[in-house]
Structure 1
């Protein structure tokens, strides 16, 4: 009995010591304990659902949904990459994949080729923009998602893939040999005039800086002495490539960007490491609201050093750095680990994802909390809202009729029909939509549906709603009826009024059929407000220097 009490006492003491130890552990590591506890709850929940739920469940799908919902609470850039999506992720970050070299998409419910890349299997095999996808190998893809079709088309280089498409009334079958596809970061470069070079930088995948260097060397050999670098619509990419692009224009040893996060291991300062290719050439960088991440680093760093004049519109405002971390079973997570800061000291992140409103939505940084910084020459720049241009160009808006013709794919469909009937057109820089061609397009539209609501008609609809709500409608009904009659849009008249912008959209669509992505960019050089402003700034060197040196006129 005595031994039993003794043993009981020992057990009690040990239990108390363990409890005290555990309590101390929890106090010191309450976050780790909470994490372990909730992971155990989550695993238990999935097991019990699998056992007891009335219908069969797919645990893998359920867990993936749970992971994605959890990550949505953080920011849009932290994402889970399961093993089956690793090839797509690799393609986005490196620009390389094994496939046929074609952009596919869905227009008006139909899966089709949107752009075959010049020189790759799809284009070499005769596939065209607008070809409707019917089969890939033995799989009927008419009802598949574009992501599923993309996976079917991709595969190891030098393997065969059968593709069947519908073109008009014809069904066409081709056997393609997949290749290693490397998409250039510079889809086009050339001369705007005898002295001005132009480089379109569309991405920051592997070799972005090398692609820009090669283009600039070639342009300099053609005698240019000023340059427009276009990073509009560039979503960013590899940080190292952004640093090297900046290094083409500023000296060795200059800070381009620093990253600061919670862990010491992610803190780093990136400096230029080479002699510049040209540190003096007058430079304008084109930016817009879809220029993000690495594109903002390039634009912002060159602005901070007063090395380039920025023309266009305020950039997207992504100042967050992502690191890819391997997980078990070949999955990965791309997680935000730091914020980046450009040479003036500013972070251009526009949305604070750590703070949510009552609806759970993140908010933009208010103007009152934006801080001022200075460029090398003393110009005032601010953080917290992307990179602001030195010369602002208002965003272009389109008439409702133009928007309707594009949204309903009527201009796209006409492009397909035109291409089937015409073997060639003039070069991208010379091709124009003549009045005769435009009338042919208008005639083609006669039996097509493209109704729309004008801005004034929409305003009148809103007025009627408010009038009915506030009991004024009866009083103003005759006036409303008269106004509706006067502003009721006439499609035939709108086709005349907005002829120029419809012609512009039509021209781009037709050129894409014959000259692909490169041709569309080249053709736009003659009709681009941002480029016109860039040329004005570059040609007027006094203005160029005034902007950069912060001198008064």
Structure 2
């Protein structure tokens, strides 16, 4: 048994070349440790008091080993291959819903238009309780997702609870679902083209080219390119998108890895789509990887202005390597460097602190680089916007209201009491409607603890235990009473932000995510700033050092 395990584990090394073992101490250490691991596993399997699951045990050990490297180097077993392909291609066999577990209820959060789910009659707000005669109670999101996805053309029976009272069963036929790269595009203020890119799957560059062409045909003389919340995707798609706005032959990105095969330079292979149209790219802390290549290239070539908040800071490149039994390894092979020469990787995974956490690259080690027009930019911490727009934060009270699912449930309740609403840009709740919501919340069980309350409790305990600080008890109690007062009147104090989020959730029931995007454009501070910058020739040129 042990010899078989050793042989299986060593097969990849034999493929590399047995000569390496005699010439390289690293390969000897690798072989030695594989031998130790095989011996250990054999002993555990033979003598451990209870029966063990070899798949679970081995996967746990693989995951723990890879976790020591970085969060992007992962083992993909055969069961998870379809999810991995979905991320790369934007396609999967399914029914076209977005769902999530909220307070132990698996709820439909959104639908794709003309999807099998929509055609079968599934609605946003439905709670999925049964799939093919099997209760999903206690399952996590991944387990439910695997039951819903399947081969195109096959059917599944879904049972849902609607509006917390009606149980409905529906037969839904799966088909190939394509996740759209561009969530929304429109013309703002008559001549500003806007589009939001949410994915970098295989058709992303084609979709962007089509969007820009359509917007220009509709009268766009300026472009706003929204990359907020886009986690990245395929490197070649990011390169192709950059090529649309910089001259053919321009260096777009370089990858530098351990081997020559992983060290490459990517240049623009095609003539640019438009070298003149003013561009504003909007980013935030959720813009990562391919999003940072696009925004970084636009910044380094002074091709447009970057608006928003600092990006995530992922400057690592991964490739997939095939393993036995239809499994794969996604492994970090290189760092990428954008035209100015900087790498935007924010965390140093090689040098971790005592508790194993990767450390942020300190400012003292960050290096200055220069754009085409000699503007200073820095490495080691994501892409810094040229125009910073503070991130809008909501109160802890509102966050708890959202997490509780009460906003979601009330939006569903509203939907079933109103056949229709006005268009997304015009919809608003009346004062009476908001008061009805407020009264409804008061009748529900609402867990509303906050970090500040937890801190007050700790401070109170510490003050009681320490004579020196016991005199602060009265002040601590005063603060606690003020927090309680704010909580008791939370729906009044935070009315504006609660009301707006409830309105958007209601809009989603009638117009889906596209309606929500449409409703937020006019009040979006980042878009307002972008419009202001690109429509002012003087400010735009000044920011780009022209």
TM over 0.5: yes
Task: State the match for 1:464 in structure 2.
Answer: 460
Q: CA deviation at 1:213?
A: 1.4
SS of 1:353 mapped into structure 2: strand
Alignment correspondent of 2:229: 233
User: 1:505 aligned to 501, 504, 507, which one?
Assistant: 501
| Distance (whole Å) between structure 1 residues aligned to residue 483 and residue 263 of structure 2 | 60
Match of 1:426 in 2: 422
Q: Secondary structure at the match of 1:149?
A: helix
C-alpha distance in structure 2 between counterparts of 1:25 and 1:151, whole Å: 42
Contact 2:278 2:534 survives alignment (8 Å): yes
1:127 aligns with 2:129: no
Q: Distance in 2 between matches of 1:454 and 1:263?
A: 50
- Pick which of 413-422 and 428-437 moved more: 428-437
Question: Is residue 239–residue 266 contact of structure 2 (8 Å, CA) maintained in 1?
Answer: yes
**CA-to-aligned-CA distance 1:79-106 (integer Å, 9 cap, x gap):** 0001111011000111111111111210
Once residues 330 and 143 of structure 1 are traced to their aligned partners in structure 2, the CA distance between those partners, rounded to angstroms, is 29
Q: Check the 8 A contact 1:464/1:473 in 2, yes or no.
A: no
Deviations 1:244-303 (A, max 9, x none): 111221121111101010000111111111122221111100100110000000000100
Contact 2:401 2:448 in 1 (8 A): no
Return the offset for 1:434.
2.4
**1:352–1:473 distance in 2 versus 1, CA, 3 Å:** closer
1:108 and 2:103 aligned:
yes
Counterpart selection for 1:70 from 44, 65, 68:
65
Question: TM-score by structure 2 length?
Answer: 0.93
Question: How far apart in 2 are the matches of 1:56 and 1:454?
Answer: 43
Tell me if 1:46 matches 2:41.
yes
User: Distance between the aligned counterparts of 1:139 and 1:432, measured in 2?
Assistant: 41
Say which of 85, 90, 99 aligns to 2:80: 85
2:325 aligned counterpart, secondary structure: helix
CA distance in 2, matches of 1:26, 1:292: 39
After superposing the two structures, state which structure 1 stretch, 85-94 or 242-251, moved more: 242-251
**Offset from partner CA, 1:102-156 (integer Å, 9 cap, x none):** 1121001111212121111111211112211121113221222221111111111
Separation (CA, whole Å) in 2 of partners of 1:191 and 1:157: 36
2:382 matches 1:398: no
Q: 1:419 to 1:473 in 2, by over 3 A?
A: same
TM value normalised by structure 1: 0.92
- Aligned residues of 1:454 and 1:489 also touching (Cα < 8 A): no
Q: Is the 1:311–1:392 contact (alpha carbons within 8 Å) kept by the matching residues of 2?
A: yes
Q: Distance in 2 between matches of 1:25 and 1:308?
A: 50
Comparing 379-388 with 157-166, which one deviates more in the overlay?
157-166
Kindly indicate whether residue 407 of structure 2 is the aligned counterpart of residue 408 of structure 1: no
Mean CA deviation greater in 409-418 or 434-443: 434-443
What is the number of equivalent residue pairs in this alignment?
527
SS of 2:307's equivalent in the other structure is: strand
Compute the displacement of 1:533 (Å): 1.0
Q: Which runs of 5+ in 1 are unaligned?
A: 1-23
Matches within 5 A, 1:208-227: 208-227=204-223
Q: Write the mapping of 1:97-496 to structure 2, written as runs, cut at 5 A.
A: 97-167=92-162, 168-450=164-446, 452=448, 460-461=456-457, 463-486=459-482, 488-491=484-487, 493-496=489-492
Q: Could you say if the C-alpha distance between residues 91 and 25 of structure 1 is closer, same or farther in structure 2, counting changes exceeding 3 Å?
A: closer
CA distance in 1, matches of 2:472, 2:458: 14
Distance in 2 between residues matched to 1:25 and 1:147, nearest whole Å: 41
Q: Distance in 2 between matches of 1:113 and 1:504?
A: 21
* Partner secondary structure for residue 80 of structure 1: strand
| Structure 1 residue 517: Cα displacement | 1.4
- In the aligned structure 2, how far is the partner of 1:360 from the partner of 1:453? 30
State the shift of 1:165 in Å.
0.8
Q: Distance in 2 between matches of 1:85 and 1:135?
A: 22
- Give the counterpart of 1:543 among 514, 539, 544: 539
Give the corresponding residue for 1:33. Answer: 28
Change (3 A) 1:86 1:353: same
Q: Which has the larger radius of gyration?
A: 1
Alpha-carbon deviations, 1:155-204, whole Å to 9, x = none? 11111111111112111111111111111100111122211111000010
Relative distance call for 1:458 and 1:85 in structure 2 (3 A) is: closer
Distance 1:232 1:417 in 2: 31
Residues in 1 aligned to 2:66 and 2:504: alpha-carbon distance in whole angstroms: 39
Whether contact under 8 Å (1:288, 1:312) holds in the other structure is yes
* Aligned mates of 2:220, 2:418 — CA distance in 1: 36
Of 435-444 and 304-313, more deviation after overlay is shown by 435-444
Match of 2:16 in 1: none
Q: Once the 2 structures are TM-superposed, how far is the Cα of residue 378 of structure 1 from its aligned partner?
A: 0.2
- Matches of 2:237 and 2:476 in 1, distance apart? 59
Whether contact under 8 Å (2:404, 2:447) holds in the other structure is no
1:61 corresponding residue in structure 2: 56
RMSD: 1.8
The change in CA–CA distance for 1:536 and 1:62 in structure 2 (over 3 A counts) is same
1:27: Cα distance to partner? 6.7
Which sections of structure 2, spanning at least 5 residues, go unmatched?
1-18
Match of 1:14 in 2: none
1:45 CA drift (Å): 2.0
Q: CA deviation at 1:540?
A: 1.8
